[in-house]
Amino acid sequence: MSDTLLEIDNLSVDYETARGDLKALRDISFDVKKGEIVGIVGESGCGKSTLISSILRLTAPNTRFRQGEVRFKGDDLLTMPERQMRNLRGSDISIIFQDPMQTHNPVLSIGRQMVDIQHRTKVSKSEKRSIAAKMLAAVGIPDPEARLKQYPHEFSGGMRQRIAIAMALMSEPDLLIADEPTTALDATLEVQIIERLQELQREFHCAILFISHHLGVIAELCDRVVVMYAGAVVESGDVREIFHDPKHPYTRRLIECDPGHIKERARVLPTIPGEVPDLANLPDGCIFRDRCEQATDRCAQVPPLEKLKEGHFAACWLNHPEESST
């Protein structure tokens, strides 16, 4: 068996709306290897959330899978019977959500919730409780035995997110999906969570699909990065390649715009003028064309996502100077 865990192959997903089909994802392809941390970066409306819910097949009723496959260990998740899918969720694939304040059931103790999610394991309740306590200790919650009795409101935001991580890792998943797990937290806690994830990843050897719009976090945590814009992958590759030698103008502009990048006080900060195009009414050609300073006539054609070198893909005509006249 290959070392590829998750393969997304030409995935296109629409939402049926009153205004017509909203093309939320178009021809998405990338893969996640075993034990690898892959970051997905993109701004609001780029399709990050649709992508996650498509992988887990937890999509809204008006979602239509137009084409493509999501293969997990070789099986296509999109055609898998629901019963089999349910067995995967929370055991082989688990997820940490964005908002730690709303992840847990407020009327059940943390211990009860951590025991309940072990419903597939056939061991005694007291054993499940001690597993839960061990996991709490692993994510750095002091005095875990006593804290199992407490309710979510008795924990701070940072602790609740760590409990969510403990619960997600309890089943020893092969793939952990983290959907902006640090966005709701302060910078100091963000660092704690990232460091904890790094440690746990080494311990559990699970692959992590880490979704964020925070470039600093992606740069620090991930091995590979997929950059999304308006429902399409515009660039993907090794984290160093992406940050040091971006090959798509959007990636380049995005990195420039991050104020963390600008050490000297700037009176005028860089921005990307314009707006994300309407996905229900897609413009022709390259999706970034309207906001791109380097756009040419060639951009009237959609550029394919092409391999530039080992482990670096980008969808931009600028990387093909030889085809300049057609």
Query: Which positions touch other proteins (CB under 8 A)?
Result: 43-44, 156-159, 186-192, 194, 213-220, 239-240, 243-244, 253-255, 257-262, 265-273, 275
Nearer to other proteins, 270 or 285 (CB): 270
DSSP string, 84-149: HHHHHBTTTEEEE-S-HHHHS-TTS-HHHHHHHTTTTS-S-HHHHHHHHHHHHHHTT-SSHHHHTT
DSSP string, 37-51: EEEEE--TTSSHHHH
CA distances from 285 to 21, 119, 232, 304, 323 (A): 18, 50, 12, 11, 16
Grouping H, G, I as helix, E, B as strand and the rest as coil, residue 216 is helix
* Amino acid of residue 236: S
Nearer to other proteins, 156 or 324 (CB): 156
Query: For residue 15, what are the β-bridge partners?
Result: 22, 63
Nearer to other proteins, 232 or 254 (CB): 254
Query: For residue 17, what are the β-bridge partners?
Result: 20
Pairing assessment for the beta strands 175-179 and 93-96 based on DSSP bridges = parallel
Distance CA 173, CA 201 (A): 11
* Closest to 49 measured CA to CA, from 207, 234, 178, 203: 178
Query: For residue 33, what are the β-bridge partners?
Result: 4
What is the closest distance, in whole angstroms, from the C-beta atom of residue 147 to other proteins in the complex? 14
Pairing assessment for the beta strands 224-229 and 37-41 based on DSSP bridges = parallel
What is the closest distance, in whole angstroms, from the C-beta atom of residue 188 to other proteins in the complex? 5
What is the closest distance, in whole angstroms, from the C-beta atom of residue 313 to other proteins in the complex? 18
**Could you tell me the maximum CA-CA distance found in the chain, to the nearest angstrom?**
72
Contacts of 271 (CB under 8 A, 6+ apart): 257
Distance CA 258, CA 287 (A): 22
What is the closest distance, in whole angstroms, from the C-beta atom of residue 175 to other proteins in the complex? 22
What is the closest distance, in whole angstroms, from the C-beta atom of residue 64 to other proteins in the complex? 24
What is the closest distance, in whole angstroms, from the C-beta atom of residue 96 to other proteins in the complex? 18
Q: For 217, what's the count of Cα atoms within 13 Å in the CB-facing half-sphere?
A: 28
Contacts of 18 (CB under 8 A, 6+ apart): none
Nearer to other proteins, 34 or 213 (CB): 213
Nearer to other proteins, 25 or 194 (CB): 194
Nearer to other proteins, 260 or 311 (CB): 260
Query: Both tokens of residue 127?
Result: 């054993």
Nearer to other proteins, 93 or 254 (CB): 254
Nearer to other proteins, 128 or 162 (CB): 162
CA 181 to chain centre: 10
Nearer to other proteins, 55 or 254 (CB): 254
